Amino acid sequence: MAIGRNRWLPHVVLLLGVFIFAFPIYLAFVGSSHDASTIARGDMPLTIGPHLVENYQQALVSPVGTRVRATPALTMMRNSLYMALAIVVGKIAISLLSAFAVVFFEFPGRMFFFWMIFITLMLPVEVRMIPTYAVVSNLGMVDTFAGLTIPLIASATATLLFRQHFLTIPDELVDASQIDGAGAMRFFWSVLLPLSRNNVAALFVIMFIYGWNQYLWPLIVTTGRGRETIVIGIVRMIGTGEAQTDWQLIMAVAVLALLPPVAIIILMERWFVKGLVDAEK
């Protein structure tokens, strides 16, 4: 249906959109390739400068400039990676098990437990930050890896998604494995898990981005600099945001902070779209 359609207008609008999204990232990349004084003078050109390699080397290993003293980006990226992976694996594991219980068994309290999980969908960590911190503190988990990750792994979203998926598994498959003498856990490992690969991949992408990008919770729970994630570290680096700071290092760390989640979204776009659209149903 090509009635009255303008041929080039959509492309112009879309390219403008792409430009508005890409330009800030490009400028950050340019910023990470010049030296501090070029940037501080305010005459940074729009092309890549000569200090790219040395800036990234410095940012990764020892980001100590004239004004900024930060944890090496390598350490911060490793902290972010461990945190994100622990959240992803934790969320997927406990959600697979609880969805399995709710869908494939009949037991007293089944719907009660399901609603109990469901209702947590409504409470973001931000609103319960202080009492949750008090719990973590009473358990002696402040500034530990467990305190950083475990409060974030309960996930109603993942449980609901797996439940939806499990409900579509035909009864015949369950019958067949019961006739073959498989118990519940054997069925879980050999039939259910392989059939859930797509959902696991989709959730992996969304939850990894969620985990990597966490801000408020790591901000209050981690106190030692050695445990700092890269998203926290980059904000600490800007301080009050003066002109005379090591912007070249800050921009290098910013690029390093956004690279892993952006790479995952681009490489796994199909799973990401599926996961996002399914998770919100």
Partner 1 sequence: MRRRTIFRNKLLPYLLLIPQLAVTIIFFFYPAAQALYQSMLFEDPFGLRTQFIWFENFQTVLSSPLYLEAARVTLVFSVAVTLGAMAPALLLAVMADQVIRGAAGYRTLIVWPYAIAPAVAAVLMLFIFHPTIGQVGQGLRALGVPWDYRIHGGQALFLVIFVSAWKQVSYNFLFFLAGLQSIPKTIVEAAAIDGASPARRFWTVVFPLLSPTTFFLLVVNIIYAFFDTFGVIHAQTQGGPGRATTTLMYRLYRDGWVNLDLGGSSAQSVLLMTAVIALTVIQFRYIERRVHY
Instruction: Pick the binder of partner 1 from 53, 115, 181, 280 (CB under 8 A).
Output: 280
**What 3 state SS string does 63-97 have?**
CECCCCECCCHHHHHHHHHHHHHHHHHHHHHHHHH
As a whole number of angstroms, the longest Cα–Cα distance in the chain is 77
Assess 48 for contact with partner 1 (CB under 8 A).
no
Q: Which of residues 264, 271, 275, 279 is near partner 1 by CB under 8 A?
A: 264
Residue type, 85: L
Minimum CB–partner distance for residue 103 and partner 1 (Å):
7
Q: Does 46 engage in binding with partner 1 (CB under 8 A)?
A: yes
DSSP 190: I
For the bound state, the minimum distance from the C-beta of residue 226 to partner 1, rounded and expressed in Å, comes to 20
Binders of partner 1 among residues 85 to 144 (CB under 8 A) are: 93-95, 97-98, 100-107, 110, 113, 116-117, 120-124, 126-132, 134-136
- DSSP SS3 for 197: helix
Interface characters, 10-39, with partner 1 (x: CB under 8 A)? xx-xx--xx-xxx-xx-xx--x-------x
Rounded Cα distance, 148 and 223, in Å? 11
CA dihedral 272, 169, 164, 217 (to 10 degrees): -60
Minimum distance from residue 49 beta carbon to partner 1 (Å): 14
Report the C-alpha gap between 81 and 70 in whole angstroms.
18
- Asked if 251 is part of the footprint of partner 1 (rule: CB under 8 A), the reply reads yes
- Would you count residue 69 as binding partner 1 (CB under 8 A)? no
Residues in 144-173 that interact with partner 1 by CB under 8 A: 150-151, 153-154, 159, 167, 171
* From 51-59, 81-89, 195-203, 239-247, span contacting partner 1 (CB under 8 A): 239-247
User: Pick from 214, 237, 220: which is nearest to 72 by CA?
Assistant: 237
Sequence-ordered list of residues with C-beta below 8 angstroms from that of 161, at least 6 positions apart, any chain: 95, 199, 202, 203, 275, 278, 279
Residue among 48, 61, 193, 235 that touches partner 1 (CB under 8 A): 235
Shortest reach from residue 105's CB to partner 1, in Å: 4
Residues in the interface with partner 1 (CB under 8 A) total 102
| Nearest to partner 1 of 72, 188 (CB atom) | 188
Position 53 contacts partner 1 (CB under 8 A): no
Nearest Cα neighbor of 32 from 80, 78, 73 is 73
User: CA 34 from chain center: how many Å?
Assistant: 30
Q: Of the ranges 1-9, 55-63, 71-79, 191-199, which one interacts with partner 1 (CB under 8 A)?
A: 1-9
Rounded Cα distance, 183 and 189, in Å: 10
Q: CB of 248 within 8 A of CB of 66? A: no
- Subset of residues 182 to 211 that bind partner 1, contact rule: CB under 8 A: 183-185, 187, 209
Query: Would you say 171 or 194 has its CB closer to partner 1?
Result: 171
